[in-house]
Amino acid sequence: MRIDNTLSAVVTGGASGLGRATAEALAAAGAKVAIFDVNEEQGEAVAKAIGGMFCKVDITSEESVVAGFAKARAVHGQERVCVHCAMTHRKGKTVSRNRETGEFTRLSTEDYEYAAQGILVASYRVASLSALGMASLDPLEDGERGTIILTASVAAQDAQIGQVAYGSLKAGVNGLVLPMARDLMDLGIRVNAIMPGIFGTPLLGRLPDKVLDSLNASVPFPKRLGKPEEFASLAMELVRNSYFNGQAIRLDGAIRMAPR
Ligand SMILES: NC(=O)c1ccc[n+]([C@@H]2O[C@H](COP(=O)([O-])OP(=O)(O)OC[C@H]3O[C@@H](n4cnc5c(N)ncnc54)[C@H](O)[C@@H]3O)[C@@H](O)[C@H]2O)c1
């Protein structure tokens, strides 16, 4: 699919990190970009900087996502590209011992459910609502109507201790890709996912130099964290290259996460 000024795109989580870099890359190539995010201040600022629009959207709310797509489509037209980066979750070990009291506790079912909403259910919601809109588009020359990119994680395949919810739900995101690509094949809509390794974004937080050095050293090559622009570059290729479909791709400098 060609990326130019006729293309409308939606990027969730576009106010920060990987989503922001992707929104910037799409806009730099000419696309009309709508950013969906809960962070209004940052979302507005990024949208302004790239000449796009901001929609305050909470991906855990059906009503909010439906309203976001309606707002974006009213201004930019139906999106042909949807990149879903936003997520929210809670973490904890299946069972852990409280250091002070010595008591055993577990990651509660409520916490797991919260993460399921913020990772897996939100991915289905955003992707399926986008596909529903794309279905009514006229196909491009090669029969393609649109393309959807989900964001999983290397934790989908090698989650660490304390990532039972995150890892299993990101594996679920990878699990959406093939059945969705097959469901949408007659409509000419492609679905892929990216599994980032460790990227330098606000998600990681401010790390002490020592921790950062050891994270950098844990990557086989290049010996550093991934750059958000490297994620964006792969997302752009997944849009441009119409033969990519039904695939979840690691982007990780060959890292394989150890248990801890
Ligand atoms: N950074 C990494 O190392 C890394 C590694 C693997 C996977 N990922 C995945 O990449 C994606 C993007 O992460 P990032 O590192 O860019 O994080 P980030 O924190 O920089 O950006 C996430 C954005 O999502 C928004 N957001 C959070 N909850 C939301 C909600 N309920 N509704 C709408 N927007 C919401 C935040 O406001 C923020 O702008 C996530 O799915 C994350 O799991 C990141």
Binned at pLDDT 50, 70 and 90, residue 121 comes out as very high
Helix (H, G, I), strand (E, B) or coil at 165: helix
Q: Tell me the domains of the chain and their CATH numbers.
A: 8-251 (3.40.50.720)
Helix (H) or strand (E) holding 40: helix 40-50
Binned at pLDDT 50, 70 and 90, residue 242 comes out as very high
The tokens for 13 are 């989580």
Cis status of the peptide bond prior to 222, with omega within 30 of 0: yes
- pLDDT value at 11 more than 90: yes
Q: What is the per-residue pLDDT for 204? A: 85
Which residues on adjacent β-strands are paired with residue 248? 193
Spatial CA neighbour of 21 closest among 199, 254, 205: 199
Which among 18, 65, 215 is the best mutation to test ligand 1's pocket, defined by most ligand atoms within 8 Å of the CB?
A: 18
129 Cα to the center of ligand 1, angstroms: 20
Over residues 155-206, the pLDDT tens digits come to 999 999 999 999 999 999 999 999 999 999 999 999 999 999 999 999 888 7
Which atom of ligand 1 is nearest to 225's Cα? Answer: 3
Q: What is the per-residue pLDDT for 241? A: 98
Catalytic sites, residue numbers: 166
143 Cα to the center of ligand 1, angstroms: 32
Over residues 74-118, the pLDDT tens digits come to 999 999 999 999 999 999 999 999 999 999 999 999 999 999 999
Q: What are the pocket residues of ligand 1 if the criterion is a CB atom closer than 6 Å to any ligand atom? A: 13, 15-19, 37-39, 57-60, 85-88, 151, 153, 196, 198-199, 201-204
Q: Which ranges of the chain does DSSP label H, i.e. alpha helix?
A: 17-28, 40-50, 62-76, 109-116, 122-134, 155-158, 164-183, 209-217, 228-240
